[in-house]
Each structure stands twice: as structure tokens, then as C-alpha cells.
């Protein structure tokens, strides 16, 4: 038999528990709808790679290139600072002359451009096998759900870049061109060069 004091104590505890409860709405399947914590960074986890590429092309790719693109000469100097066994990706703005358009593979076309006296192979797609654009734009693995989504972004950005490029054929040989490039460097070496924009200079 509970004493009067014990009964009062239980009643007080029950009152506290009820007052601490929060009413939560339920979804159509009867599951509680829990609002997202506004302090949690959502990143790109709820978007497809193609959505991310299209939404961030201006703000993260072109804006980064406009702010930090190096000249070809400065990029070559930068390559000497890359630690052995690592790589670095950045944007480069350059002007050169087209000397060849590769027809070896219609899927992975290469335009050779002479930059500062150096013949540089530039990937123009439609298939591009390089992380240069993604890494030069500063996307980080921790912004994504997993390695698969991170790799898918590479392909989505490359496809989006190709859509911005004009069709390049043999008629471009000998023409002066302006280029915005995503370049991946190793120690004193250029590993990949990908066209972000490419246009002929006006005569």
C-alpha cells in the first residue's frame, strides 16, 4: 500500500514526463516525421550527380576558374612544387594554335594545341577519363554520400563540359584559340588536360 507521500511522488513524476513529451506528426505510412536538424550540413547527398553538375557549373567551376586560373607558364612552375607521389588539379587560361585534331577515337577526341611552344593534347570528349574538372573546382569527398557518388560527379561534370564545347574538326587546324583548361599535375609533369571552354579567336 503506497503512502500518501509516495503517491504524490509518482503523480509528480508522471506530470514531468507528460510535460516533456512533444507531439510529432505522422506521415502517410504512420511513421513519425522528424524535422531535419538545421545545424547539420546536407551537402549533395540528396542530389544526383547530374543535378550537382548542372547546379554548380557556374558557381563552383566557372567562378573558381575566373578567380584562380593560372597562365600556362605559371602552371608549369606550379608543377615543380607538387610532392612526389601526389597530384594537384587547377584551372589554366591560355591562347594557342591548333595543330592537330585526333580522329583515332571518335569517343575520346584529342585536340593538339601549341602553347608556349609546347604541343599539348587537350581532351574534348565526348568521353573524358579524368578527374581534373572535379578536383580543380575543389569538390571534396566528404561532401558526398560515398565513393560511387563522388566518381559519378566526375563523369557528370565532364559530360556537362563537353556540352559547352563547339564541334571541333580538321577545319580548326592552324586557327588561334582561347582555352579554359582543367589540368592535373604531377611532379614536373602535366598528367591530364581537359577543355572547359574552347573558342576560335576572331581574325
Secondary structure of the chain as H, E, C letters: CCCHHHHHHHHHHHHHHHHHCCCCCECCCCCECCCCCCCCCCCCCCCCHHHHHHHHHHHHHHHHHHHHCECHHHHHHHHCCCCCCCCEEEEEEEEEEEEEECCCCCCEEEEEEEECCEEEEEEEEECCCCCHHHHHCCCCHHHCCCHHHHHHHHHHHHHHHHHHCCCCCHHHCCCEEEEEEEEEEECCEEEEEEEEEEEECCC
Query: What is the reported pTM?
Result: 0.76
pLDDT of 18 > 80? The answer is: no
pLDDT of 23 > 80? The answer is: no
State the pLDDT at residue 36: 39
State the pLDDT at residue 30: 55
Q: Can you tell me which residue has the cell 569517343?
A: 107
State the pLDDT at residue 37: 35
State the pLDDT at residue 143: 84
State the pLDDT at residue 107: 86
State the pLDDT at residue 11: 54
Q: Hey, which of 30-39, 97-106, 149-158 has the most confident mean pLDDT? A: 149-158
Provide mean pLDDT across the span 71-99: 96
CB 120 within 8 A of CB 112: yes
Of 118, 121, 96, 119, residue with least CA distance to 110 = 121
pLDDT-based confidence at residue 142 (cuts at 50, 70, 90): confident
pLDDT-based confidence at residue 46 (cuts at 50, 70, 90): confident
State the pLDDT at residue 90: 97
What is the chain's mean pLDDT, rounded? 84
State the pLDDT at residue 20: 47
State the pLDDT at residue 104: 63
pLDDT-based confidence at residue 146 (cuts at 50, 70, 90): confident
Amino acid at each position: 500500500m503506497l503512502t500518501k507521500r509516495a503517491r504524490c511522488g509518482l503523480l509528480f513524476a508522471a506530470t514531468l514526463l507528460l510535460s516533456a513529451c512533444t507531439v510529432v506528426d505522422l506521415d502517410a505510412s504512420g511513421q513519425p516525421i522528424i524535422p531535419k536538424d538545421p545545424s547539420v550540413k546536407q551537402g549533395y547527398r540528396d542530389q544526383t550527380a547530374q543535378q550537382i553538375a548542372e547546379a554548380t557549373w557556374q558557381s563552383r567551376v566557372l567562378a573558381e576558374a575566373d578567380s584562380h586560373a593560372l597562365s600556362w607558364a605559371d602552371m608549369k612552375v606550379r608543377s615543380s612544387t607538387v610532392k612526389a607521389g601526389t597530384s594537384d588539379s587547377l584551372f589554366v587560361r591560355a591562347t594557342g594554335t591548333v595543330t592537330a585534331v585526333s580522329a583515332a577515337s571518335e569517343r575520346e577526341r584529342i585536340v593538339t594545341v601549341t602553347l608556349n611552344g609546347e604541343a599539348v593534347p587537350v581532351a574534348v570528349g565526348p568521353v573524358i577519363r579524368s578527374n581534373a574538372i572535379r578536383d580543380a573546382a575543389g569538390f571534396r569527398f566528404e561532401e558526398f554520400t560515398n565513393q560511387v557518388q563522388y566518381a559519378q560527379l566526375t563523369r557528370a561534370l565532364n559530360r556537362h563540359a563537353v556540352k559547352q564545347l563547339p564541334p571541333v574538326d580538321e577545319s580548326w587546324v592552324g586557327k588561334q584559340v582561347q582555352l579554359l583548361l582543367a589540368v592535373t599535375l604531377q611532379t614536373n609533369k602535366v598528367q591530364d588536360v581537359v577543355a572547359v571552354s574552347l573558342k576560335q579567336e576572331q581574325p
